[in-house]
Amino acid sequence: MRDRLILLPGWGLGISPLEPLAAALRGVDEHLQVHIEPLPALDSSDLNEWLDELDATLPDNAWLGGWSLGGMLASELAARRGARCCGLVTLASNPCFVGHDGWPNAMPAETFDAFLAGCRADSQVTLKRFGLLCAKGAADPRGLARLLVGGAPNTPSEGLMNGLELLAQLDTRDALLAYRGPQLHLFGGMDELVPAEAASELLALLPEVEIGLIEQAGHAFLLEDPHGVAAAIQAFLHECVDD
């Protein structure tokens, strides 16, 4: 199924942010089957349970990709599947979303803790704040934030909390090092959630993979320029297939 790409969404906002990109990808390659898979709705923040659910649901021998949390999960699933995964594409996905001594170019732990506390107190207000952070760096940040939050599913607070707790513990560096298939990782130069410096840090960790920085773009660059992102992904897929 080298003609199938599965995309996983980010935290809280559902599949809507990925739909323009999926449409653009189908437009540049009519043979490419693009499927957006919602994140699992689990009463758990245990990574293995999330991966078990995705592994059982998604077809083998496809390209795996995702935005933000979705890209981190795609990375872990690619490592688990090994040769059963054609390749990996991540969009605005930091190997560690929350910073620590081993990976400083990420969200400060105290900022994330405040975000977690805000979600526990009022998940809908926190989701709106998250939409604004995703849209920063865009030409029309308020309009983009409204679009992001307006298309979000009505996820219970507990489900949102589980996703955040999973996000806090994820460290995909070992998975990215273990996965031997082709990889493309794209970052936004004006991302408020994933520092642009993470791109160069990832390149130092994985010098053999393709890493790109879209300089004038925020966390939601896949919505700002779906056709440009689709062209970059399509060029990567074709280069890998030709090889």
Which residues, other chains included, contact 133 with Cβ-Cβ below 8 Å and sequence gap of 6+? 192, 193, 219
Q: Mark residue 125 as left, alpha or beta (left: phi above 0; alpha: psi -120 to 50; beta: remaining).
A: alpha
Provide the token pair at 102. 């081993």
CATH topology for the 4-242 domain: Rossmann fold (3.40.50)
Residue of 68, 75, 93, 123 marked active site: 68
Distance (Å, whole) CA 74 – CA 120? 26
Instruction: Judge contact between 220 and 133, C-beta under 8 A.
Output: no
Q: Which of 75, 123, 171, 191 is catalytic?
A: 191
pTM of the model: 0.96
pLDDT given for residue 242 in this prediction: 62
227 is catalytic: no
Write down the catalytic residue from 171, 219, 225, 238: 219
Q: Is 55 a catalytic residue?
A: no
For the chain, domain boundaries: 4-242
Residue reference for tokens 């969009």? 91
Per-residue pLDDT 10s for the chain (243 aa) are 479 999 999 999 999 999 999 999 999 998 999 999 999 988 899 999 999 999 999 999 999 999 999 999 999 999 999 999 999 999 999 999 999 999 999 999 999 999 899 999 999 999 999 999 999 988 889 999 999 999 999 888 899 999 999 999 999 999 999 999 999 999 999 999 999 999 999 999 999 999 999 998 999 999 999 999 999 999 999 888 765
Give the C-alpha separation, 124 to 130, whole Å: 10
Query: Secondary structure of the chain: what % helix, strand, coil (to 5)?
Result: 50, 15, 35
Q: How far apart are the first and last CA of the chain?
A: 16
CB atoms within 10 A of CB 150: 10
Q: Among this protein's residues, is 35 annotated catalytic?
A: no
Helix 47-57 and helix 69-81: axis angle, to 10°? 70
Q: Find how far residue 47's CA is from the centre of its chain.
A: 15
Q: Are 210 and 185 in contact (CB under 8 A)?
A: yes
